[in-house]
Amino acid sequence: MAEPKDGDLPRKLNFVIVGGSLGGLAAGIALKALGHHTTILERNPTALLHDQGAGIVAGGDALEFLERYNRCKRPISVSSHRRQYLDRSGKVVHKVDMIQNMSSWDLTYHIFRANYDGTLSPYCDAPHLDASHGSATHLHNRTVTSLEETPTGVLVHWKSTTDPSVTGSLLADRVIGADGPSSTIRSLFVPNLERTYAGYCALRGTVPESEATPETLSALAHRFTFYHGPGIQILAYLIPGINGTVEPGQRLINFVYYTNFPADSPELDEILTDVHGTRRRITIPPGMVSPQAWEKQKVIAIENLPPQFAELVCKATKPFVQAVTDVISPEHEFMNGKVVLIGDALAGFRPHTVASTSQAAFDAMIYADHVQGKVSREEWKRETMGFARFIQQRGASKPRREEVYPEWAIKI
């Protein structure tokens, strides 16, 4: 079967999107707005993903995505007016006035779900159905096991996450792998590619602003605040609170604390061993961190961090831990374009780049533009692969529209 040329695609295609976090939802929202039918397969056994406890810096592409597709009428972020750097004593030693928008993973997720399949939540009302949109189906408890190319598309085989004896399949015109940095879809085509540990972890958590001392809240409120020390970096900013509220006094102070843990060290084993004694490979979710391990981190924080940051680490009640890794696929389309990778499934950025959410939003938008025929295959590949390769290599980002990618990054 010949692959359709740009702009010649049928009006309504059937897309199967593997992964129901932000990247998968973004792709579903963008494609259903074009009238295409989408089905999301999410391996999580529950209908909703649990609160990840994380703050998000809503960059340019994330905001553009929301402006283009969001139909929920509510505030989406808390503004930060300044970037500032503290010394060990907690004194501001450098500052730059800069407006940035800070949100939370859970608010963004529920806004995306409301826009995708009308899921109701305390975070936002579901928008009215748009008759021009394609269908949107969200199926949880589905772990994809294999893909089979057919003359008419791709057969997606899955099994139940909780009961592997339950299996099924769906026929798709196209498949989108949006299943994160440990992507199953990527592994089917690039089986020997593994996530590589970068030598440090992100210790993360939130503290209600009402529980911070007045001195700490005054220093951190509406500011993106950093501290750098030997082998450590920590940052903090305000994010929406429970059910996404942005009301003063009800928001959360989010912190991300990067610190070195040598590979195969007892210290790394300790911080990645959860409350039940299980050694996790990459992530310990909120509330599952060993109390003993976190008590040790509190002592280290008091000894090494400015007092404002040490207070946050000591007051966090549900911290979580992420081992920082690198991974990037050498390609992002397979089966002659019938299967594509987007977001973290294509390239898992280190969290300090604050680019993952923007990458997911951008990849979804430009892929929808490609499907619509507004963007050629060559431009789509150059832009998405250039972004992925360049940020992965450089380890830092600035607004994507300001980037000039070197030739090696956009070679296709």
CA–chain centroid gap for 291, Å, is: 27
Residue 6's pLDDT is what? 46
DSSP string, 124-136: BPPPPP-TTS--E
The residue ranges of the chain whose pLDDT is under 50 are 1-4, 6-7
Q: Tokens 């359709």 map to which residue?
A: 4
pLDDT at 194: 94
For residue 4, the model assigns a pLDDT of: 46
pLDDT digits (tens, 9 = 90+) for 15-74: 999 999 999 999 999 999 999 999 999 999 999 998 776 899 887 899 999 999 999 999
SS (H, E, C) 1-54: CCCCCCCCCCCCCEEEEECCCHHHHHHHHHHHCCCCEEEEECCCCCCCCCCCCC
Contact call for residues 354 and 102 (beta carbons, < 8 A): no
Q: How far apart are CA 229 and CA 385, in angstroms?
A: 34
pTM confidence score? 0.93
